[in-house]
Homo-oligomer: A and B are copies of this chain.
Amino acid sequence: MAKDGEVAKPESGGSFEARTRPPSMADVAAMAGVSSQTVSRVANHRSNVDEATRERVLAAMQMLGYRPNTAARALATGKFRMLGVISFGLNAYGNARTLEAIVAAAQDADYSVNVVSVRAQTESAVRDAFDRLTVQAVDGIILIEAQILDTPALRLPSGLPVVVVDGEESRRHPGVDTNQAEGARLATTHLLELGHRTVWHVCGPQDSYAARRRAESWHRTLKAAGAPVPPLLYGDWSAASGYAAGLELAANPEVSAIFAGNDQMALGVVRALHEAGRRVPDEVSVVGFDDLAESAWFLPSLTTIHQDFEEVGRQCVALLFDQFRTGHATVHGATPVAPTLIVRDSTSAPGAP
């Protein structure tokens, strides 16, 4: 009983079958009365199509709601119009900002962005990420904050164009990065010029390229100014680690100026100083790095080094496109992006009121 009647719908069911599959070029071609190749030409904005024909095809596309099939196009051309981004934690403020800029720049050029996030900065994790972006699914790869590339052995699969942000300025790949040295110099000089005898530094994690660069430049700047170089303190970028370092520094009456490796650590430092009863900036001045959106509203508002993440993202994409065009890396080493000093309320001359 249950099986009689209209059990099986006729599979050549006529007008309904179009619903199943999205329209293809062939459908558009049929409706416009042209060959599918002409549809292809219209879809790709080729010039050699008669204006009248083009409009007919466009009308047909519109009517059918035609969208080109990316996979088929990629298969035929070997290009994907897709960028891969490998990032170590999207939460980190700078990474998120950079990613957003990359996405924006890619979109402007009609590229999509495939994001892969890597938890551990081990070589195998990075290699996995590359595998994920399966050699053939993206046209190029941007690596954000990849300290691990230092390891001599990381052999990146195949000849895919790669750009490295905020990583070791590898001899192997073009890179883009905020000019860390310049930022650290600006911060240190600012404090020295206010009249502080020297500047203490709370550095980021030891395996961080950016942290190393900042610390080196801080060191050089002090030397150049003839200021004593106090011992380095290490944090891990977190406010908690800044707080820990801050407690140490607060206990030392000689400390009057601190350059923290980033704004979060600066926040922790300020808090520790506050709890120890040392007023900022009257007794101790603090400078951060990054210029978080919130830093202007901290108590006191934070003097810091502003990074232009938008520019970094744009440069990344531009560098990648260069490689697409020329077929190889034309630039090696890092393209620097200039940071700027933002003076707010957390710094002042020593011994102020």
Question: What are 11 A-B contacts with C-beta separation under 8 Å?
Answer: A65-B157, A69-B134, A70-B71, A82-B114, A90-B99, A90-B100, A91-B100, A96-B96, A103-B116, A107-B116, A271-B299
A104 CB contacts on chain B under 8 angstroms: 117, 119
Nearest Cβ on chain B to A294's Cβ, whole angstroms? 6
**Minimum CB distance partner of A130 in chain B:** B67
Interface residue ranges, A against B (CB under 8 Å): 22, 65, 67-72, 74-75, 80, 82, 89-91, 96-97, 99-100, 103-104, 107, 112-117, 119, 131-137, 157-158, 238-240, 242-243, 264, 267-268, 270-271, 274, 292-294, 296-299, 301
Nearest Cβ on chain B to A240's Cβ, whole angstroms? 8
Q: Are A134 and B103 in contact (CB under 8 A)?
A: no
Partner of A298, one of B69, B131, B298: B298
A268 CB contacts on chain B under 8 angstroms: 297
Q: Are B107 and A112 in contact (CB under 8 A)?
A: no
Partner of A67, one of B65, B69, B75, B134: B134
A99 CB contacts on chain B under 8 angstroms: 90, 115
A271 CB contacts on chain B under 8 angstroms: 297, 299, 301
Q: Are B90 and A22 in contact (CB under 8 A)?
A: no
Q: Are A91 and B80 in contact (CB under 8 A)?
A: no
Q: Are A131 and B274 in contact (CB under 8 A)?
A: no
Bound CA span A301–B100, Å: 29
Q: Are A113 and B112 in contact (CB under 8 A)?
A: no
Query: Taking the full assembly, how many copies of this chain does it contain?
Result: 2
Bound CA span A70–B132, Å: 10
Q: Are B75 and A71 in contact (CB under 8 A)?
A: yes
Bound CA span A70–B74, Å: 9
**Minimum CB distance partner of A157 in chain B:** B65
**Minimum CB distance partner of A270 in chain B:** B299
Q: Are A267 and B297 in contact (CB under 8 A)?
A: yes
Nearest Cβ on chain B to A52's Cβ, whole angstroms? 26
Q: Are B299 and A137 in contact (CB under 8 A)?
A: no
**Minimum CB distance partner of A158 in chain B:** B22
Given known contacts A71-B71, A99-B90, is B112 in contact with A132 (CB within 8 Å)?
A: yes
Bound CA span A72–B107, Å: 24
Additional A-B contact list (11), CB under 8 Å, known A70-B71, A103-B115: A22-B135, A22-B136, A67-B136, A90-B100, A91-B100, A91-B293, A112-B116, A113-B114, A264-B297, A292-B294, A299-B299
Given known contacts A72-B75, A158-B22, A239-B297, is B116 in contact with A115 (CB within 8 Å)?
A: no
Partner of A91, one of B67, B69, B97, B301: B97
Bound CA span A299–B280, Å: 12
**Minimum CB distance partner of A68 in chain B:** B134
Partner of A103, one of B90, B135, B298: B90
**Minimum CB distance partner of A272 in chain B:** B297
A133 CB contacts on chain B under 8 angstroms: 112
Q: Are A274 and B294 in contact (CB under 8 A)?
A: no
A274 CB contacts on chain B under 8 angstroms: 299
Partner of A294, one of B67, B116, B239: B239
